[in-house]
Structure 1
């Protein structure tokens, strides 16, 4: 029987496997996550926080076909699994964004009718477009998605841009670009206290006008819904007129979806709560400030809250008061007090027992961890911070059955960090979204005993190494020689020649040492094919332990030992 050339090459290539713990799927930072290396992935021996307050040390999470297969300390890892050694890493549920504009475009502006009356404009001109679906203007290849995923977000509720009733939201996962990534559509109605196209000359042009118009539209929707249901079950009734505004609002008056009401302060919070009390719809407050002034009203209404991750600029806190006039000192003091109050908003909600989630609305992706730490420094507990990023938001969005915690059967969405969540030195190394792994560069820390790569005596990789590899093709061995050149490295690897007997060699590319984690890649040409082998691992003195990744076939363990140079 003639062996398939590809399989024959694979058998020979497997002996190339070096040492290295599989901390990365690819040798370099890979934010693309274009494909799963295998359908089964295991992060082994990590510190795993499955939900707020529940952490399992030295544990393994097994992922299969985009779902969590198992979590625990005694997990049997299938032979076909891609194993990622995560001894020094920390795993948390992926963050969930309660209201995001990532990848969301704008709807086309409506044309003004010839007989336009600003006192009684058509719904579209009045900013009333509940029939719009945000998915219609969503681009899942937009760079903003990677920016937020790089900050730990794996799921987001998308909100449409528009007027007072801008349209319906959707929930998406930040997974592979080849998928639509849609988890649910028409999941909430987006509303704000914004006049018609931002103009005070067109009704409703003021917040009070918005309230009056909302009441009018809501009551007419209730009447239209009642008429439609009676007509469907009775004879002798006039047929109802079809109105796309009212029909789009039926799920709201039937309480099947909530109203996501954007608010800025306690005044707008009270206005939104007043509309809810009058009409009885489900309410989610988006954004907001001065919550301490309306805590009781929020609790009695059972409204839910999505608090913005955005915090005000702290420049005013550094003002030199003695250089200011008396009037400016008083004004600056008020601004400083408002700044301190904003830092405490999350702690006010936690103290009042109001479960809340977070929204990225108005904030920058790069500020996520910094702002979380500021909130914790101002009274928010770490467990509440994690809950707001995960299970609380999942519950508000109605997706808690398959997201928000790390459990068997839930979507494989998680972040893998180099340190605990709120540690100042923590960095995101991997993000798993929908079972796809996205890798991000981890910057080495400077220290007094080494160079900018973090090298010291225990992690000097330059020299001569011998490795062994155990694969389905059998046990094999080879050598590795690494030379340090300035702040970078060059190297050569030898392996069993895929074309026949003896050894072959290849240049090691993209050699990167980050702390104790080493990664690189090399090319193998055999059987008319060119294959790229990606390796990475843990350096511990003169030992290297880890795996090699061959994207089409999975990963396999290897071990190496540093030896005195003998040639």
Structure 2
């Protein structure tokens, strides 16, 4: 979801945003990182060094943010803080191939009086390849904590904007004592997306965007050639410095790729067409429909990032009993399409194409569930782990210090209570850049509320949120819908006094963890709000996430049964 920051709209939402929802998976405060001595020893653990390579009863020594040793019968340094790894499983830290978490969208410039939409300046047309995403990155964004909790330790952050929003960078999710920057200007971000300047502005269509890209690329080649000749010969006119064209130079010499976000196979084919015409290195993120994509990927040698977000499975899992033949046929088509999507990642593996995962469009609280669904539909566990670790390290060019657990590499790892993709697995520790983050785990393996009783969401829940703006609240009314749930949430109306309401979408109850989304309309925008948290004894505690506006605390209590009838 892309939200452009508008102070007037945000001010009307400020009270709402700080009063609606938020959840921390029943885990401890992720800001409690530990790196007192800088030396740790994880002892007697099951350590997966790389996909398919596991050591039993191994010890890992970490010193000053690096892995110093892995093996058995190691001598523990006297100053080491020891983490007992008995019954724990250690994996390389996850790497996010592309994400916009923590990235703010730059404000649009004001139009001059003589503005010509048929020939706008680059910045108005969404062409800002000289920008660095780091200039718009908020290292304190609370959503970073949510992604670290599920195991991410390194991420390539991509800028927000139009067709060429700028250069990406690679950051670590480590401690607050560092700027956490691993590499700058790692890829040129590109999209088949119209500008933010409104309709009627060139290039306003995908074909127009392709034509503009070709024009910029060819002019950049000419500019680069002119500058080289001018530097080594006399008698030549001085070249004009153009920051847009100069931003293409690392792409021309193939030191960085073009990272194209695509949403369907047509956009993929268009990205591949541009690559074949111009010869740049290509990374595509968000591809779908592998039956049409595989040939295009192979022909261009494109590197691939796959989103682990899956569509809503409500219709796919619905009961067709009692429906007409026509409705049964329609429902079956939806189910068939859903099953096909679940198998897309497995098709890449079967075709021998290594790929990485990207969180673009995804939610942290859905990641493990969705990857398990992919595994159940043809993807191997080793390929899933590779897509989170070594494959993304190779795509980003950081395999020398990340992606596997080896001596001398960054101390980035995920430590779980069970094999990573098992239903009962919980994250106990995440080590990022040598900083150790510890999270609470529980022994609940079924939908129960803390007393061994099954969780029943049905009913009316009163929620409150205490924020810098004060305390506010509303209700959630949830009902059973076959094997799933549906619901409605009320909130303070951002456009005036009183309450407004919205359907609760994507309601997922996993164990005693609940998550859902809903949309808020304000100032002409529809904002998607993500809520996730834990239910214990009829109490719901967690957080709400609203794009770059961050995450905010939320608590709810279920009304007694006689009030819910």
Q: TM-score range by the shorter chain?
A: 0.7 to 0.9
Q: CA deviation at 1:452?
A: 4.7
Alpha carbons of structure 1 residues 453 and 45: separation in structure 2 relative to 1, 3 Å: farther
Paired with 2:121 and 2:265, the residues of 1 have a C-alpha distance of 31
Deviations 1:357-412 (A, max 9, x none): 00000010011111110110000001000000000001000100000000000000
Aligned-pair distance for 1:332? 3.1
* CA pair 446-231 structure 1, distance change in 2 beyond 3 A: closer
CA distance, structure 1, for counterparts of residue 198 and residue 322 of structure 2: 41
Question: Contact 2:153 / 2:432 at 8 angstroms: preserved in 1?
Answer: yes
- Deviation digits for residues 396-454 of structure 1, max 9, x if unmatched? 0010000000000000000110000111000000000000000111023279xxx8599
3-state DSSP class of the match of 1:432?
A: strand
Answer yes or no: is the 8 Å Cα contact 1:46–1:87 preserved in 2.
Answer: yes
Is the Cα–Cα contact under 8 Å of residues 133 and 169 in structure 2 kept in the other structure?
yes
Matched position secondary structure for 1:196: coil
Partner of 1:253: 252
Whole-Å separation in 2 of the counterparts to 1:132 and 1:205: 21
Where does residue 162 of structure 2 map in the other structure? 163
Deviation at 1:102, TM superposition (A): 1.4
Pair 1:63 & 2:55 matched: no
Residue 267 of structure 1 corresponds to 266
- Which of the pair has more CA radius of gyration? 1
**Structure 1 position 90, deviation (Å):** 0.3
- Taking the aligned partners of 2:124 and 2:195, their CA distance within structure 1 comes to 7
Instruction: Specify the SS of the correspondent of 1:31.
Output: coil
1:13-24 superposed matches below 5 A: none
Aligned to 1:292: 291
Query: Aligned to 1:97, what secondary structure does the other structure show?
Result: strand
Equivalence for 2:400:
401
Instruction: Report what 1:369 is aligned to.
Output: 368
Cα contact 2:108–2:196 (8 A) shared by 1: no
How far the C-alpha of 1:333 sits from its partner, in A, is 3.0
- Structure 1 position 380 matched with structure 2 position 366: no
Confirm or deny: 8 A CA contact 1:446 1:452 kept in the other structure. no
Matching residue of 1:72: 71
Structure 1 331/212 Cα, relative in aligned 2: closer, same or farther at 3 Å? farther
- Tell me, in whole angstroms, the C-alpha distance in 1 between the residues paired with 2:279 and 2:29: 48
- Offset, 1:51: 0.1
2:103 is aligned to 104
Distance of 1:251 and 1:57 partners within structure 2: 44
Match in the other structure for 2:133: 134
**TM-score, L = length of structure 1:** 0.73
Q: Are 1:413 and 2:412 an aligned pair?
A: yes
Helix, strand or coil: the match of 1:102?
Answer: coil
User: For 1:285 and 1:324, how far apart are their aligned partners in 2?
Assistant: 41
| Equivalent position SS for 1:419 | coil
Distance 1:41 1:230, change over 3 A: same
Deviation at 1:298, TM superposition (A): 0.9
SS at the partner of 1:321? Answer: coil
Distance 1:446 1:377 in 2: 19
Q: Which residue of 2 aligns with 1:202?
A: 201
Shift, 1:293, TM fit: 1.3
1:492-507 equivalent positions in 2, closer than 5 A:
none
Secondary structure of the residue that 2:165 maps to in structure 1? strand
SS at match of 1:380: coil
Distance across 2 between alignment mates of 1:66 and 1:453: 41
* DSSP 3-state at the match of 1:437: strand
Q: Post-superposition shift, 1:325?
A: 4.8
* Gapped regions of structure 1 (runs ≥ 5): 1-27, 455-567
d(CA) in 2 for partners of 1:437 and 1:250? 39
Displacement after TM superposition at 1:318 (Å): 2.5
1:332 alignment counterpart: 331
* 1:54 corresponds to: 53
Q: Give secondary structure in 2 for the equivalent of 1:430.
A: strand
What residue number does 1:437 align with?
A: 436
**Equivalent-residue separation in structure 2 for 1:315 and 1:227 (angstroms):** 58
Q: Distance in 1 between matches of 2:221 and 2:445?
A: 64
State the 1:299 CA deviation.
1.1
Offset of 1:305 from its aligned partner? 0.3
CA 1:340 to 1:184, structure 2 compared with 1: closer, same or farther past 3 Å?
A: same
Give the Cα separation in 1 of the matches to 2:63 and 2:361. 36
* Pairing of 1:466-485 with structure 2 (within 5 A): none
Q: Distance in 2 between matches of 1:441 and 1:267?
A: 45
Query: How much does 1:30 deviate?
Result: 4.2
Deviations 1:515-546, CA, capped at 9 Å, x for gaps: xxxxxxxxxxxxxxxxxxxxxxxxxxxxxxxx
Q: Distance in 2 between matches of 1:111 and 1:360?
A: 32
1:423 corresponds to 2:422: yes
Show CA shifts across 1:315-365 (max 9, x none): 111334354455544443333222112111110110111110000000100
Secondary structure of 2:178's match? coil
Q: TM-score, normalised by structure 2?
A: 0.73
State the distance in 2 between where 1:105 and 1:332 align. Answer: 39
Q: What does residue 278 of structure 2 align with?
A: 279
Residues 1:91 and 2:87 aligned together? no
Determine the C-alpha separation between the residues in 1 that align with 2:198 and 2:51.
45
Match of 1:32 in 2: 31
Q: Secondary structure at the match of 2:240?
A: coil
Aligned to 1:460: none
The answer (yes or no) to whether the contact 2:66–2:433 under 8 Å persists in 1 is: yes
Partner of 1:393, secondary structure, is helix
Residues 317 and 335, structure 2, Cα contact 8 Å, conserved in 1: no
Verify the 8 A CA contact 1:285 1:305 in the aligned structure 2. yes
Contact residue 431 and residue 437 of structure 2 kept, 8 A: yes
Question: Could you tell me which residue of structure 1 aligns to residue 305 of structure 2?
Answer: 306
1:535 matched residue in structure 2? none
Give the aligned length.
424
- Change in CA separation of 1:409 and 1:33 when aligned onto 2, cut-off 3 Å: farther
